[in-house]
A and B are shown apart, each in its own frame.
Chain A
């Protein structure tokens, strides 16, 4: 906008006022320059960021608090199940009695003894370690097989020895 020129009388007042010089500034110039330089190095952070962060954190805290207060324990569902006792199946019992006729008491005894030995060995290993296992019996000494003659001369010597 273009400024309107002042009338003569107002211009005179303006000129008179302009002759007044404002008092000397009481600012500490060095301090202002120092503070301004420091402020220019560390630009002011946007307060909106802090506000948004604060609001978000507050909302999250409120939501979690409400969830914590409104939380209920695991829902217990009680279901009544009536179990009817089953009647014994007579036919089945009769069929089960059939294998008893072929029952081999000795074989069953051996099987039980093997199982018992196995369980004892397991128990011994568990309590005393592998060293507790008795060493297996050494195989009986076997006579070495006679060495077969490898040459004609050895064959003749062998025959002479046998015939005296």
Chain B
């Protein structure tokens, strides 16, 4: 976790914003994709909102993940209202990850396993593994406690291990 990323937005110059964009854009989009079908719009709105704040949040990264999650949930609700059916596109997972070599983990299997997780587990996994957030930041994002965030994370990893049949290192 880059401690310098948590800076007031007053000091959030172009370089800092570019750094946030490069470091977290993918993970933020992945997080937003868990809820809605327009993750790039949600992330863009959140970044713009961060720069428009009169007083900066203490933790800009945590603030971003919180706002992206909230906006993505709102966007999903709006989409459901418009189309009256569940957006299956966000669950197909075709574009969640970069295609991997054949000998590496099957991205499609990982996506399938992730998509099968309960939402509260999935968002913890995304925020922790690809966002690099601490459990304190995840707790702030989800509106829960640190211990609850960590417990959900461990439970989600256990479920994924079962679904993806990842062998335990001790068994090898």
Residues of A at under 8 Å CB distance from B?
1, 3-4, 6, 8-10, 12-14, 16-29, 31-33, 35-37, 39-40, 42-44, 46
Contact = CB atoms under 8 A, between A and B. Distances in A.
A6 B9 CA distance: 34
23 contacts: A1-B135, A1-B147, A9-B168, A12-B169, A16-B164, A17-B110, A17-B129, A17-B160, A18-B130, A20-B97, A20-B100, A22-B97, A24-B26, A25-B21, A25-B25, A25-B26, A26-B39, A27-B29, A28-B44, A35-B48, A40-B51, A43-B52, A46-B54
Contacts of A46: 54
Interface residues of B, number: 52
A27 B97 CA distance: 15
Contacts of B150: 3-4
B29 A33 contact: no
Contacts of B60: none
Interface string B52-90: 111000000000000000000000000000000000000
Main secondary structure of the interface of B (DSSP, over half): helix
B21 A27 contact: yes
A36 B17 CA distance: 8
A37 B157 CA distance: 39
A20 B29 CA distance: 15
Nearest to B45: A35
A41 B147 CA distance: 40
Contacts of B49: 39, 44
Contacts of B130: 18, 20, 22
Contacts, number: 128
A8 B169 contact: yes
A13 to B, nearest CB: 5
B105 interface: yes
Contact of B129 (A8, A14, A39): A14
A32 B47 contact: yes
B134 interface: yes
A25 B29 contact: yes
B29 A14 contact: no
A13 B29 contact: no
Given A14-B157, A32-B48, A37-B14, 4 more contacts: A16-B166, A22-B130, A26-B39, A26-B40
